[in-house]
């Protein structure tokens, strides 16, 4: 059975930093890679802040101090450090060209036994697998945001993903205290094929002047009992990630029902990326 001690995490944005924190809290050694040193430093600052806030609120999985937990995260802008990884989770920007280059590199760098999990929102796992010489050891793990707080993930089986790889992924997830729902590969999988359309349509409601964002979300929260409305959810995910995902669905299905809302495009161009930029449909 393959060891799952050293975990490579590519991308230190919203998802990568949440995952690195969760892994470190569960005793893994984490190799966290991003293209910019400044992003890696921001990620470590934000993980430290979250760990400290958790301590103040009495949430402390395990007995390790903040410094001990942080010391198990090694950061680098050099993807070659992933040669030591037992398992890699890729969380880079939702763009196939960016991901192509990353998979080409890690396929060369990592041991042949290493499993690659793509934490993509919408890109086909079969397509990602085809970028490597190990499509049987590539699968999708669609983590939910914020990663340390979400106990269930969507696992996606690509065309060539082997049963052994699904087994390894399930073992990896159970070490994090997470359960999986396994689905077959299709762009957007189950979650985002529905969610991205809903969010995009909610953006069209704002664009068409039907109702302001707060009222749209209020209907979902107060009438349907959802924890968050679609526009607050979009801000949490990141409006850039929402736009890239809906564009992937549009290109993958060649279906006009996935056309991105022009308001969403304009907001992303203007730097309104949601919570991570301080402003999206709401202010933070």
- Active-site residues, by number, are 121, 142, 154, 192
241 part of the interface to ligand NAD, by CB under 6 A: yes
Taking CA 193 as the corner, what is the angle to CA 188 and CA 194, rounded to the nearest 5 degrees? 150
Nearer residue to ligand NAD within complex by CB, 39 or 211:
39
Q: What is the largest CA-CA distance in the chain?
A: 57
CA dihedral 182, 188, 190, 194 (to 10 degrees): 160
Least CB distance to ligand NAD at residue 128 (A): 10
CA distance 237 to 265: 15
121 part of the interface to ligand NAD, by CB under 6 A: yes
Q: Which residue has the tokens 């907001």?
A: 267
CB atoms within 10 A of CB 210: 11
Candidate residues 87, 103, 116, 143; the one interacting with ligand NAD per rule CB under 6 A: 143
CA distance 92 to 175: 23
12 part of the interface to ligand NAD, by CB under 6 A: yes
34 part of the interface to ligand NAD, by CB under 6 A: yes
How many chain residues bind ligand NAD (CB under 6 A)?
28
Please provide the distance, in angstroms rounded to a whole number, between the alpha carbons at the two ends of the chain.
46
Sign of the C-alpha dihedral, residues 151, 60, 237, 4? negative
237 part of the interface to ligand NAD, by CB under 6 A: yes
Least CB distance to ligand NAD at residue 16 (A): 6
94 part of the interface to ligand NAD, by CB under 6 A: yes
Candidate residues 13, 135, 140, 158; the one interacting with ligand NAD per rule CB under 6 A: 13
Contact 235, 281 (CB under 8 A): yes
Query: Which residue has the closest beta carbon to ligand NAD?
Result: 13
Contact 248, 187 (CB under 8 A): yes
92 part of the interface to ligand NAD, by CB under 6 A: yes
CA distance 212 to 230: 13
Candidate residues 28, 127, 134, 142; the one interacting with ligand NAD per rule CB under 6 A: 142
Q: Which of the stretches 64-72, 138-146, 154-162, 250-258 binds ligand NAD when contact is defined by CB under 6 A?
A: 138-146
274 part of the interface to ligand NAD, by CB under 6 A: no
Residue 281: closest CA among 191, 205, 194, 226: 205
CA distance 155 to 173: 10
CA distance 143 to 189: 12
Candidate residues 75, 120, 124, 200; the one interacting with ligand NAD per rule CB under 6 A: 120
Q: Which of the stretches 142-150, 166-174, 182-190, 209-217 binds ligand NAD when contact is defined by CB under 6 A?
A: 142-150
Task: Write each residue from 62 to 91 as x if it is in contact with ligand NAD (CB under 6 A), else as -, in one continuous string.
Answer: -----------------------------x
Least CB distance to ligand NAD at residue 11 (A): 3
Q: In Å, what is the CA distance from 119 to each residue of 106, 206, 220?
A: 15, 29, 27
20 part of the interface to ligand NAD, by CB under 6 A: no
Q: Which residues are near ligand NAD by CB under 6 A?
A: 10-16, 33-36, 39, 91-94, 98, 102, 119-121, 142-143, 145, 237-238, 241, 245
């Amino acid at each position: 059975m393959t060891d799952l001690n050293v975990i490579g995490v590519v991308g230190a944005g919203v998802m990568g930093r949440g995952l690195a924190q969760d892994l470190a809290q569960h005793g893994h050694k984490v190799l966290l890679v991003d293209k910019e040193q400044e992003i890696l430093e921001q990620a470590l600052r934000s993980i430290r802040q979250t760990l400290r806030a958790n301590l103040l609120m009495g949430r402390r999985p395990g007995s390790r101090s903040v410094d001990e937990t942080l010391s198990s995260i090694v950061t680098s802008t050099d993807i070659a450090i992933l040669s030591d990884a037992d398992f890699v989770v890729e969380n880079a920007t939702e763009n196939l060209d960016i991901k192509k280059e990353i998979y080409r590199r890690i396929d060369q760098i990592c041991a042949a036994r290493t499993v690659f999990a793509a934490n993509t929102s919408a890109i086909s796992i079969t397509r990602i697998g085809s970028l490597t010489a190990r499509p049987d050891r590539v699968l999708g793990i669609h983590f939910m945001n914020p990663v340390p707080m979400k106990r269930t993930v969507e696992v996606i089986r690509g065309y060539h993903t082997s049963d052994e790889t699904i087994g390894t992924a399930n073992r990896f997830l159970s070490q994090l205290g997470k359960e999986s729902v396994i689905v077959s590969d299709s762009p957007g999988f189950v979650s985002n094929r529905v969610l991205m359309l809903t969010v995009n349509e909610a953006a069209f409601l704002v664009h068409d002047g039907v109702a302001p964002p707060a009222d749209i979300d209020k209907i979902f929260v107060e009438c349907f009992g959802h924890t968050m409305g679609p526009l607050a959810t979009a801000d949490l995910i990141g409006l850039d990630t929402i736009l890239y995902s809906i564009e992937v669905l549009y290109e993958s299905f060649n279906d006009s029902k996935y056309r991105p809302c022009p308001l969403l495009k304009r907001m992303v161009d203007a730097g309104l990326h949601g919570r991570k930029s301080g402003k999206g449909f709401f202010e933070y």
